[in-house]
Chain A
Amino acid sequence: MHIEVAKFILVAGEMLLTSGAEVYRAEETMERMGAALGYNVEAFVTPTGILLTVSYQGEFFTKVRRIRYRTQNLGRIAGVNAISRGLSMGTLTFEEAKAKLQELRVPAYSTGQKLIAVMVASGSLTFILGGSGWEIIIAALSGLIAYSVGFILERFNANSYLSSSLASFLVANCVYTAQVLLPNISVPTVLVGGLMVLVPGVAMASAVKDIVQGELLSGTSRAVEAIAIAGALAAGSAIALGLWR
Chain B
Amino acid sequence: MSFLDISRQFMAAFLASGGFSILFNLSAKHLFFASLVGAMGWLGYQFVVPISGSIMATFLAAAIVSLLAEVLSRILKTPASTLTVPGIIPLVPGMRVYRSMEYFLHGNNVNGLDEVAMTLLVSGAIALGIAVVGSLFRLKKR
Please measure, in the bound complex, the distance between the C-alpha atom of A199 and the C-alpha atom of B79, giving whole angstroms: 22
Count the A-B residue pairs with Cβ separation under 8 angstroms: how many? Answer: 154
Chain A residues whose C-beta falls within 8 Å of the C-beta of B30 in the assembled complex: 78
Please measure, in the bound complex, the distance between the C-alpha atom of A140 and the C-alpha atom of B25, giving whole angstroms: 19
Question: Distance (Å) between the CB of A216 and the closest chain B CB?
Answer: 14
Chain B residues whose C-beta falls within 8 Å of the C-beta of A128 in the assembled complex: 9, 12-13, 16, 42, 90
Kindly identify, within residues 10 to 26 of chain A, every residue whose CB is under 8 Å from any CB belonging to chain B. Answer: 21-22, 25
Please measure, in the bound complex, the distance between the C-alpha atom of A211 and the C-alpha atom of B77, giving whole angstroms: 24
Could you give, for residues 89-110 of chain A, a 1 whenever the CB lies within 8 Å of some chain B CB and a 0 otherwise? 0000000000000000001110
Q: Are A196 and B94 in contact (CB under 8 A)?
A: yes
Measured as residues with beta carbon below 8 angstroms from the partner, the interface class of chain A is 35 or more
Q: Are B98 and A205 in contact (CB under 8 A)?
A: no
Please measure, in the bound complex, the distance between the C-alpha atom of A73 and the C-alpha atom of B21, giving whole angstroms: 9
The B contact surface, by secondary structure, is helix
Q: B residues touching A (Cβ–Cβ < 8 Å)?
A: 8-9, 11-16, 18-28, 30, 42, 77-79, 81-82, 84-86, 88-90, 92, 94-95, 97-102, 104-105, 123, 126-127, 130-131, 134-135
Q: Which of A32-40, A53-61, A117-125, A158-166 contacts B (4 or more CB under 8 A)?
A: A117-125
Residue A174 interfacial (CB < 8 Å)? no
Kindly identify which residue among B19, B28, B81 contacts A108, using a CB–CB cutoff of 8 Å.
B28
Q: Are B105 and A74 in contact (CB under 8 A)?
A: no
Kindly report which residue of chain A lies nearest to residue B78, judged by CB atoms: A78
Going nearest first, the 8 A-B pairs with the smallest beta carbon separation are A121-B19, A117-B22, A208-B127, A75-B25, A124-B15, A124-B16, A124-B12, A192-B94
Residue A3 interfacial (CB < 8 Å)? no
Knowing A21-B81, A201-B88, say if A120 contacts B26 (CB, 8 Å): no
